[in-house]
Structure 1
Amino acid sequence: MLKIVHPVAGTIALLTIATFWVSTVLCELLGSLTAVTTVKTAIPWGLLILIPALAAAGGSGVAWSKGQRQGLVGAKLRRMPFIAANGLLLLVPCVLLLASKARAGEFDTTFYAVQALELVAGASNIILLGLQMRDGLALTRWRHGSFRRTGSHSSNN
């Protein structure tokens, strides 16, 4: 079950954050204030997908690691607190403040300063989650490769 939940939840989390980020950038560059308001007020609803996906990816990753703390597994485990802290301490408050300000039509210096912070924090989490995915794929290839090298064709891969 972890072999399904972990990559699916991680992919959903990465795609959700990337969607928020790209939507924000495109609306700011090409859209009207109405489009920005629509995106900024929709993103908090996306947290209902993102937060459970991140929790499922993190929890299943910890369970799947079985206490291992070295190599790629260790790197993934060390990255998770930064991803979670960035999300909970920066991104969620930014999302909620920007949605409130957009709903009120307050596109002021504070809005754009928080928007910049949100874009930097979002890009950071996209990079970190991308590294998580890269390392997860490497671990999967390594595991499959190691089974092929030993001649075992077990379905337990």
Structure 2
Amino acid sequence: MLAVLAIFAVPTAANAYETTDGSDVTIAPGQAVTLTFSGFDANEPTTASAPDAVTLGVVKVVTTFSRPADSAGVVKYTASATQPGTYTITVTGVSGKVAVGTLTVAPTDSGAGSGSGSGSNGALPNTGLETPMLIIWGAAGALALGIALTVVLTIVRRQKASV
């Protein structure tokens, strides 16, 4: 009986604190935004954590950051990311209260594009020479033939003049 009571009591103790309000925002790549989390105790120290693709605070390599909540139990963290996607930012207070926010980085608009290979049809853009290789080789062959003909005619003309 005691074992059954322990099984049901442990999950209840682990879930004693509810998730508090967090922020759900959408930004453009590279844009910084302030996320607001509430429901913490007054002046409670908190720690925010995020995936590696998200930057918390002003330091580029920080994926965890700590700061105290204000007197109303609200804490704000600045976050940014350059890769499109949806990222979860979790803020945990020392009391065990947890706030979860979602940072969505929207992909940039590809635009209408112009010319061939703009990528608007899903194909890769054409960044090379657009003249077909057959035309290039044909022109190079005609040029080589013209130079050879000029050299032969010059040699024949000199031979006739010397005879």
Asked if TM exceeds 0.5, the reply is: no
Q: Which one has the largest radius of gyration?
A: 2
TM-score tier, shorter chain, comes to under 0.3
**Greater helix share, structure number:** 1
Q: Which one scores higher on RCO, CA 8 angstroms, separation ≥ 6?
A: 1
TM-score normalised by L of structure 2: 0.23
